[in-house]
Each structure stands twice: as C-alpha cells, then as structure tokens.
Structure 1
Amino acid sequence: MDHGLSQLSDLAPRGYALGLHIRFAAAHLMIQTYDPRWTEIYTEKGYMLADPMVFWGFGNDGAIRWSDIDLPDPLNIMGQARRFGLTFGVAVSTGLTSSRTIGGFARDDREFTDTEIARIRSVVETLHERATPPDRLTPAQRMALRLVAKGNRHAEASAVLGISESAFKARLRAAREALFVRTTAEAVQRAHEYNLL
C-alpha cells in the first residue's frame, strides 16, 4: 500500500484524495494529501455530495481529466479548488458500484499526460484490489473484538479466553491489520459495519 501511495504522491504534485471501497457513502480507507485548508473547507461544507468529480466517479469506470467532466457544478467546487493549486486534475474510478474506489489527482502546472493518467489508473486499481475489505475474520479475532466491544479490559478478556494478555493483544493486532485500521475501537466499528462480529 505505502509504495502505491508514494507513487501517487509523485504523480500528483498538488495532492490527491482517494476513497478506497466506498460503501454506503463511507470509504473503507480515505487518504487525502491536498492542501489541508481546501480539505477543511470541502469537508465542512459537505462538498462530496455535490462534487462533479465524485458524481462522475459513481457513474463511470475509468479515468478522465477534470476539464473533460461535463457535469453541473452549481457550487463552483472546481473553481474554488483552483484557489488551492488544484488547477488541473484527473478522476479515476474503479470497482463495483457497491464497493467503489474514486480518486482525484491534481497538479497546478499543466494537464496530465495520457501516460501519467494510465499510470495513476493502474496504481489505483492495484490499491483497490489490495485494500479489499475482508469478508471474514478468524474465530479468535472475532471473539477478541467481541470481548472488547462488551467493555472487557485486556486482562479480563485474556482470562476469559484462557490465554496470555500478549496473545490477546496479538489477536487484536491481527484483526486491526485485516480491517486496515489503526485502533481497536476502529476495528470493532469496522467489523460491525461489515457484519463480521
């Protein structure tokens, strides 16, 4: 994953926003490297729901230059983005509509070349495959997350399972890695979202 994200940073000098496996209007993983001031405005105003690039991404599979997206932009989102260096860009969309990956990639000096667009699309498709949410956890991982969800502390949960506290923590770590999250609380939430508990 890190190598692919690094490649995207090199290919999009003004940053990118990438939502991997968007389900029910929430991304399994969301990575944003745009100017933080723009990200804050975009988030505060809820622009995702009106963004022509995102709208294009839900309705299409492939890649397109922002300048070629022929959709309404009543809130002038693209115009506002230009004030933060997001002058030229490309949108990439891949995956089933039930688990779509959509990304926007920007530069401020020129349009992306066809070769650059093909490379970005290839990296996004690879990341989409690698970040596919799990369809199951091991029984040990599920039980560890269930105990945490019920409010058990690590020492209590490991005693219930008859294992060492370090073995219990290892199960939680494996569950976090499988779910692509950093914290155990996020793992519990994600497991619930995917009906894995």
Structure 2
Amino acid sequence: MSKAPVLDLLLHELALVAPGGFAVGLHIRYVSPLIMVNTYPESWQEVYTAKLYGLRDPTLAWGLSHSGTRRWSQIGLPDPFGILPEAAGYGLVYGMIASIGPMSSRTIAGAARADREFTDDEMSHVHRIVQRMHDLSEPPARLSRAQADALKCIAEGDRHAAAAARLGISESAFKARLTSARQKLMARTTAEAVQRAKEYGLI
C-alpha cells in the first residue's frame, strides 16, 4: 500500500496547526531533501529564493545544528540579513522550528502564524506530526530486482512497450513494477522515482 495518502493526511494536520503556512524538508541529504513541501505565501517564497536566504536563515541554521523544537523568537542566533523581520511583512510574524533525525538524514520543519506565539502543546503536536512524517518517508535500503530493472529501463530511455520486451514481460506487468517502485520510493511520478533511485544509489 502506498504511504503517500498517509503523508498527505499528516501534511493536512500540519496545515491546521500552522495557519501562516509551513515548510518541511524530509530526509535532507547533501543539502537536498527527499521531499519538500512549502505552503508559505508564494510572494515570500520568491523573495526567499531570490535572495538565497536558505544559506542565511537562522531558523534553518538552528535546525541543522539542534534537534527538538524552538520558537523563532528564542533561537538566539544572529540574523544579520533581517530575514525574520522581513518574513513578518508577509504574515510570518510568529513561528517555530522542528528538527528531527541524524545529520545524515535530517528532517526540518518550520511553521508560522500571524496572531501569536505557538504554545508548548502546539509545538509538541507539530513535533509529533513531523516525527511521523520523518519515519514514514524513510528512504528504502534497496529495491527489488524487478523494481530496479524497470526503473533502469526508463532511465535509459526505453518506452513501456520496449522496456517490457527487453525484460521479457507483458507491458501491464512492467507498469505494475513501476507502480510498486514509485510507492516504495514515495514518488508521485516515474521520473521522480528514477531520480530518487539514482540519488540513493539504488540503480
């Protein structure tokens, strides 16, 4: 069974406790997350990206060097570029960070609201949600031979019919292998599954 619907439910639960939006990077490895979801205002996302704030964000720096939760107002790290005051202008006035997992596969989530600080209970709730997402999205240690072979065919440019012929199976069987590979890698498309399989050294 695919884990994606469960992950979607957890993202919805996170959205309910973070009315100002949230950003979560699951299993960050070599700076790139396995899954990234960002619901902050698009205008803020554009500014954040254009100004390379990901390299300067004190909340992200805290998340990379600590585990647990912390309010943005209590991080205690310098913000020489004024990222947090600028974010407040986009409705991200109060926020928190949750950081989970080892440095080799860290999950970091930020959540915001415009009206007040997050309570301790809300922060604990966010932490539990993010922990469940982190556990649910743990990358697989390996693919089955059938899954790996199917993804390799796609990676090498074969279309479904050609790939099925190459593997000596029916086209429907080939599609079933791709579907199982996507589910195992928590990918929504075959292209995404191929990319993730490559990143994790599975093909």
Q: TM-score, normalised by structure 2?
A: 0.95
Cα separation, 2, equivalents of 1:157 and 1:14: 46
RMSD: 0.8
Aligned to 1:193: 199
Aligned to 2:120: 114
- How far the C-alpha of 1:128 sits from its partner, in A, is 0.5
Tell me, which stretches of 5 or more residues in structure 2 are unaligned? 1-6
Cα separation, 2, equivalents of 1:91 and 1:183: 30
Could you list the per-position Cα deviations for residues 162-195 of structure 1 after superposition, in whole angstroms to 9, with x for gaps in the alignment? 1111111111111112112222122111111100
Aligned to 1:59: 65
Tell me, which stretches of 5 or more residues in structure 1 are unaligned? none
Deviates more, 1:172-181 or 1:142-151: 172-181
Q: 1:155 pairs with 153, 158, 161, which one?
A: 161
Deviates more, 1:175-184 or 1:98-107: 175-184
Cα separation, 2, equivalents of 1:38 and 1:145: 36
Please tell me the residue identity of whatever aligns with 1:139.
R
1:98 to 2:117 alignment:
no
Cα separation, 1, equivalents of 2:122 and 2:192: 35
Could you list the per-position Cα deviations for residues 111-150 of structure 1 after superposition, in whole angstroms to 9, with x for gaps in the alignment? 0011101101111111100011111111100000111111
Paired residues in the alignment total: 197
Cα separation, 2, equivalents of 1:178 and 1:39: 30
- How far the C-alpha of 1:102 sits from its partner, in A, is 0.4
1:143 to 2:149 alignment:
yes
- How far the C-alpha of 1:54 sits from its partner, in A, is 0.5
Q: 2:130 pairs with 114, 124, 130, which one?
A: 124
Cα separation, 1, equivalents of 2:154 and 2:186: 18
- How far the C-alpha of 1:78 sits from its partner, in A, is 0.7
Cα separation, 2, equivalents of 1:88 and 1:35: 14
- How far the C-alpha of 1:45 sits from its partner, in A, is 2.0
Give the 3-state SS of the residue equivalent to 1:30 in structure 2: strand
Cα separation, 2, equivalents of 1:20 and 1:38: 21
Cα separation, 2, equivalents of 1:41 and 1:177: 34
- How far the C-alpha of 1:10 sits from its partner, in A, is 0.4
Give the 3-state SS of the residue equivalent to 2:98 in structure 1: strand
**Aligned residues with identical type, % of pairs:** 52
Alignment of 1:12-91 (within 5 A): 12-91=18-97
Cα separation, 2, equivalents of 1:9 and 1:133: 24
Please tell me the residue identity of whatever aligns with 1:104.
G
Runs of 4+ displaced beyond 3 Å: none
Cα separation, 2, equivalents of 1:126 and 1:184: 25
